Amino acid sequence: MTDARYHCPRTGRPLVRGGDAFETQDGTMSYPVTRGIPDFRLTPPPDPADEQEIQQMVELAERDGWRSAVGQIRPEMLGYVDDATRAMFLDLVPLTKDMRALEIGCGLGQILVALAPRVRELHAVELSPGQAQFAAERCRQEGFDNVHVAAGGDDLLLPFADQTFDAVVMNHVFEWIRIADDVNANLAAQRLVLAEIRRVLAPGGVLYISTKNRYGLRLLLGGRDENVRDIRFGSALPRRVANQLAAGKPGILGLLHSYPTFERLLREAGFETLGSYWGAPDGRYPQRYVATDPAAIRAARKSRGFKQGPTRSTRLIMPFVPARLVKYVTPGLTFVARSTAKASAQPIAAE
Return the minimum-mean-pLDDT range out of 9-18, 165-174, 327-336, 339-348.
339-348
Is there a domain that residue 235 lies in? Answer: yes
Give the count of beta carbons closer than 10 Å to the beta carbon of residue 91: 9
Beta bridge partners of 206: 167, 338
Same structural domain for residues 74 and 9? no
CB 185 within 8 A of CB 252: yes
Cα–Cα distances (Å) from 240 to 181, 186, 246, in that order, read: 21, 14, 10
Rg (CA), the chain: 20
Is there a domain that residue 72 lies in? Answer: yes
Same structural domain for residues 82 and 22? no
CATH code: domain of residue 199: 3.40.50.150
Is there a domain that residue 350 lies in? Answer: no
Express each pLDDT in 52-81 by its tens digit: 999 999 999 999 999 999 999 999 999 889
Same structural domain for residues 285 and 144? yes
Same structural domain for residues 7 and 75? no
Beta bridge partners of 90: none
Is there a domain that residue 347 lies in? Answer: no
pLDDT (0 to 100) of residue 165: 97
SS3 of 189, please? helix
Distance of CA 4 to the CA centre of its chain: 24
d(CA 338, CA 269): 11
Same structural domain for residues 24 and 77? no
Is there a domain that residue 206 lies in? Answer: yes
Is there a domain that residue 39 lies in? Answer: no
Same structural domain for residues 306 and 221? yes
- The chain-wide mean pLDDT, for the chain, equals 93
Is there a domain that residue 40 lies in? Answer: no
Same structural domain for residues 145 and 255? yes
Same structural domain for residues 92 and 20? no
Give the count of beta carbons closer than 10 Å to the beta carbon of residue 190: 23
CB 138 within 8 A of CB 66: yes
19: containing domain: 1-34
pLDDT (0 to 100) of residue 2: 42
The residue type of 152 is: G
When divided into structural domains, the chain yields a total of: 2
d(CA 152, CA 129): 8
Distance of CA 166 to the CA centre of its chain: 17
Express each pLDDT in 5-52 by its tens digit: 799 999 999 999 888 999 998 889 999 999 999 999 998 887 889 999
Closest by CA position to 344, among listed 282, 278, 271? 271
Same structural domain for residues 223 and 200? yes
Beta bridge partners of 126: 151
165-171 and 224-225: which strand pairing? unpaired
Is there a domain that residue 42 lies in? Answer: no
Same structural domain for residues 51 and 28? no
pLDDT (0 to 100) of residue 351: 66
Express each pLDDT in 239-290 by its tens digit: 999 999 998 888 889 999 999 999 999 999 999 999 999 999 998 889 999 9
121-126 and 147-151: which strand pairing? parallel
CB 92 within 8 A of CB 114: no
Beta bridge partners of 339: 271
Same structural domain for residues 257 and 233? yes
1: pLDDT confidence band, cut at 50, 70 and 90? very low
Same structural domain for residues 17 and 154? no
